[in-house]
Chains A and B, each alone.
Chain A
Amino acid sequence: MYRYDEFDAGFVAERVAQFTDQVERRLAGTLSEDQFKPLRLMNGVYLQLHAYMLRVAIPYGTLSSRQMRCFAHIARTYDKGYGHFTTRQNLQFNWPALKDVPAILRELAAVEMHCIQTSGNCIRNTTADQFAGAAADEIEDPRPYAEIIRQWSSLHPEFSFLPRKFKIALTGAPSDRAAIQVHDIGYQVVKDAMGEVGFAVYVGGGQGRTPLIAHRIREFLPKADLLSYTNSILRVYNLEGRRDNKFKARIKILVHEKGADAIREAVEADFAANHDAGLTLPQGEIDRITAYFTLPDLAARPQVSAAVEARRTSDPAFARFLARNVFPHKVPGHGVLTVSLKPTDGIPGDATAEQMDHLADLAQRYSADELRVSHEQNIVLPHVRLDDLPAIYDSLRANDLAADNVGLVSDIICCPGLDYCALATARSIPIAQAISKRFAEPERTAEIGDLRVKISGCINACGHHHVGHIGILGLDKAGQETYQLTLGGSADERCSIGDITGRGFSAERIVDAVETVVDTYLSHRTGAEESFIDAYRRLGMKPFKEALYVPAA
């Protein structure tokens, strides 16, 4: 894991002092709300329906048990005993008082965490594959580069007042688990013909009101140029991005309106002219940062664990857990374990302080003291021995954390919606809860197989509904919550935007509609090996639409 050196710690301390002063001036009335709002957003403080919300960055989704325990402590001390893990590898506290935020920031700084640029029209928390550094399928760990971008983008003097927010994601594997094609910039680690490792550059993806898939504007960017090239993209965007309409201000609109070729030309021209000292990365410095992310010293073990096999045959629930929640690790005899925060009737992404502490304990005992947060709002124990899985499973069960549904219909991505969010037009959590109850039968969910359901409570699409295999968008139609259904979206390397089925459904009807879609898939699929998304791509909308909108008898 990355550890702060004296410089990093000093920087965060200065930032905490700066924000503390801003809060004091706001409370004293010498900063107006109009002046303060962009400043508090740049430090992750929103005003929601009931209270302020504080969003803490978990850079590229990696955290230690100590940091997780700090979350639990803050949840107990300054909040109502829980927190919400978001789709961008952040943690949100729903009830902090503004006057307490400086104290919370000092607690976070003590464990090398911060809220810098978790909101606002600036470069946001840089995200990455939650399996980075552990997954068997990766070319190279993207996190050292995410850390370099995190540092470079912190309080950037030129790019702190962009037309709109700016999100960067990285993946080190050909399987895209970080949804890079729906980010403002997506960097994918690739190898060129000579075997040199660099990045393919995607620009202009995004969700929200106008969902667009990113364009690949460069096939290969040498590692040394990562910051220079990012700087050039940001400069073109800062100068040319639209500022006349908030809904057209993201870089995706600029790319869409001007064309990917024009943007590529502008970026390449700036990049060619860019002689800013300090942005070219020396290999020695890349190596120094990379050393922080070295795989823990895990001794190779037998590929098959006798303990796991014995339990698998005797315990069907454990067998399901194994099949859904464990991913192959680089080191034989180990696994990458996803802990689902999506139990039946739960609030997706929410964890209590007790659960946070428990996860921290498990990480300390079984996973080289490391945890990850996924954009699917789950927690990952990245380095567990297969032999330990039965014990970990039992421990998770005792803490309501053993849901065996990773990647299944009940593993729902869901924004806070109108229950918390000032921007929301409808509730999303109750819909997620109702779907999870409808599909609570584990044999049935396993039979349905891979199916990503994603729910947003407004058009801003924090719940990623556009890229859900099944997407649900909550709207307000004349005072009634109405839910629009989309099918066929996908956030992975075969990224696609879902198609709207037709007119929306009431809160009472939307769960039936989801079940109708699932049943239609089951009756049309060629076999269990044809996943929902594959079947949809083969069948198209027609059979689903016919099943959903049966003419009234």
Chain B
Amino acid sequence: MTAIVSANLLATGRVAYLGREGAWVEDIAEATVYSDAAAAEAELAAAQQRGGALGVVEPFVTGYTRADHRTLPEGRPTMALRDAIRAFGPTVGYGRRAEQGD
């Protein structure tokens, strides 16, 4: 299964992904998708080696395919629910007013 590298940004805590040229991007659509988990691990290790992970917290590798992305947020994702919630936000409204849609 193809894989991505994710983490949270140190300064804001927002979810981020390792993207092109080692930049951390907040939109999963811009995440670089690696051929498998081992390749993603290697990229993460390389990023850490060159100091490219200093601005993020708790980086990790997780399985992901672009196809998953198209199924979201509607329908049950094939990616882990946890990863989907990280990528697309809580499945419940932000506070009660948001829940009511106003």
Whether the pair B12, A82 counts as a contact (CB closer than 8 A) is no
Whether the pair B97, A50 counts as a contact (CB closer than 8 A) is no
How far is A82 from B95 in the complex, measured between Cα atoms in Å? Answer: 6
Counting chain B CB atoms within 10 Å of each CB, the highest count among A50, A351, A418 belongs to A50
In the assembled complex, how far is the CB of residue B50 from the closest CB belonging to chain A, in whole angstroms? 14
How far is A207 from B96 in the complex, measured between Cα atoms in Å? Answer: 29
In the assembled complex, how far is the CB of residue B83 from the closest CB belonging to chain A, in whole angstroms? 9
In the assembled complex, how far is the CB of residue B70 from the closest CB belonging to chain A, in whole angstroms? 19
How far is A96 from B14 in the complex, measured between Cα atoms in Å? Answer: 10
Which residue from B57, B80, B81, B97 sits with its C-beta under 8 Å from A352? B97
How far is A99 from B55 in the complex, measured between Cα atoms in Å? Answer: 13
Counting chain B CB atoms within 10 Å of each CB, the highest count among A26, A347, A351 belongs to A347
How far is A352 from B102 in the complex, measured between Cα atoms in Å? Answer: 12
Task: List residues of chain B with CB within 8 A of the CB of A419.
Answer: 85, 90-92
For window 414-440 of A, CB contacts with B under 8 Å fall at: 418-420, 427, 429-430, 433
For window 44-102 of B, CB contacts with A under 8 Å fall at: 54, 57-58, 80-82, 85-86, 89-100
Which residue from A27, A354, A479 sits with its C-beta under 8 Å from B80? A479
B15 at interface, CB cutoff 8 A: yes
Residue interface mask A24-59, B partner, CB < 8 A = 1: 001101000100000000000001111110000000
Whether the pair A352, B96 counts as a contact (CB closer than 8 A) is yes
Write the chain A residue with the least CB distance to B93.
A347
In the assembled complex, how far is the CB of residue A437 from the closest CB belonging to chain B, in whole angstroms? 12
Task: List residues of chain A with CB within 8 A of the CB of B14.
Answer: 50-51, 97
Whether the pair B96, A347 counts as a contact (CB closer than 8 A) is yes
A369 at interface, CB cutoff 8 A: no
Whether the pair B95, A347 counts as a contact (CB closer than 8 A) is yes
Write the chain B residue with the least CB distance to A400.
B96
Whether the pair A418, B13 counts as a contact (CB closer than 8 A) is no
How far is A355 from B81 in the complex, measured between Cα atoms in Å? Answer: 31
In the assembled complex, how far is the CB of residue B27 from the closest CB belonging to chain A, in whole angstroms? 14
Whether the pair B96, A97 counts as a contact (CB closer than 8 A) is no
Whether the pair B95, A350 counts as a contact (CB closer than 8 A) is yes
Task: List residues of chain B with CB within 8 A of the CB of A407.
Answer: none
B11 at interface, CB cutoff 8 A: yes
Task: List residues of chain A with CB within 8 A of the CB of B82.
Answer: 49, 418
How far is A52 from B10 in the complex, measured between Cα atoms in Å? Answer: 9
Task: Give the contact-size bracket for chain B.
Answer: 20 to 34
Task: Give the contact-size bracket for chain A.
Answer: 35 or more
In the assembled complex, how far is the CB of residue A475 from the closest CB belonging to chain B, in whole angstroms? 12
A481 at interface, CB cutoff 8 A: yes
A81 at interface, CB cutoff 8 A: yes
B8 at interface, CB cutoff 8 A: yes
Task: List residues of chain A with CB within 8 A of the CB of B13.
Answer: 47-48, 50-52, 96-98
Write the chain B residue with the least CB distance to A345.
B99
Given contacts A98-B10, A98-B13, A419-B85, A33 and B57 within 8 Å (CB-CB): yes
How far is A139 from B99 in the complex, measured between Cα atoms in Å? Answer: 42
A504 at interface, CB cutoff 8 A: no
A335 at interface, CB cutoff 8 A: no
In the assembled complex, how far is the CB of residue B89 from the closest CB belonging to chain A, in whole angstroms? 6
Given contacts A29-B54, A47-B13, A430 and B92 within 8 Å (CB-CB): yes
Whether the pair A80, B94 counts as a contact (CB closer than 8 A) is yes
The A-B contact count (CB < 8 A) is: 88
Write the chain A residue with the least CB distance to B90.
A419
Residue interface mask B8-49, A partner, CB < 8 A = 1: 101111110000000000000000000000000000000000
For window 80-112 of A, CB contacts with B under 8 Å fall at: 80-82, 96-99
Write the chain B residue with the least CB distance to A420.
B90
Whether the pair A50, B93 counts as a contact (CB closer than 8 A) is no
In the assembled complex, how far is the CB of residue B99 from the closest CB belonging to chain A, in whole angstroms? 7
In the assembled complex, how far is the CB of residue B59 from the closest CB belonging to chain A, in whole angstroms? 10
Task: List residues of chain A with CB within 8 A of the CB of B98.
Answer: 82
A346 at interface, CB cutoff 8 A: yes
How far is A81 from B95 in the complex, measured between Cα atoms in Å? Answer: 8
Task: List residues of chain B with CB within 8 A of the CB of A481.
Answer: 81
How far is A58 from B84 in the complex, measured between Cα atoms in Å? Answer: 33
In the assembled complex, how far is the CB of residue A364 from the closest CB belonging to chain B, in whole angstroms? 22
Which residue from B8, B10, B57, B99 sits with its C-beta under 8 Å from A346? B99
Task: List residues of chain B with CB within 8 A of the CB of A354.
Answer: 97
Which residue from B10, B85, B96 sits with its C-beta under 8 Å from A49? B85
Task: List residues of chain A with CB within 8 A of the CB of B95.
Answer: 80-82, 347, 350-352
A343 at interface, CB cutoff 8 A: yes
Residue interface mask A339-361, B partner, CB < 8 A = 1: 00001011100111011000000
Task: List residues of chain A with CB within 8 A of the CB of B89.
Answer: 50
Task: List residues of chain A with CB within 8 A of the CB of B58.
Answer: 33, 47
How far is A345 from B97 in the complex, measured between Cα atoms in Å? Answer: 11
How far is A50 from B28 in the complex, measured between Cα atoms in Å? Answer: 13
How far is A492 from B89 in the complex, measured between Cα atoms in Å? Answer: 36
Whether the pair A97, B11 counts as a contact (CB closer than 8 A) is yes
How far is A190 from B21 in the complex, measured between Cα atoms in Å? Answer: 67
Task: List residues of chain A with CB within 8 A of the CB of B57.
Answer: 33, 47
How far is A26 from B10 in the complex, measured between Cα atoms in Å? Answer: 9
8 residue pairs A–B, Cβ–Cβ below 8 Å? A49-B82, A49-B85, A50-B14, A50-B90, A51-B12, A97-B13, A420-B90, A429-B92
Which 7 A-B pairs have CB atoms at the shortest separation, nearest pair first? A82-B95, A52-B13, A419-B90, A51-B13, A97-B12, A429-B92, A352-B95
Q: A49-B86, A99-B12 are in contact. List 8 more A-B contacts (CB 8 A).
A: A26-B10, A29-B54, A33-B58, A50-B85, A99-B11, A347-B95, A418-B81, A427-B92
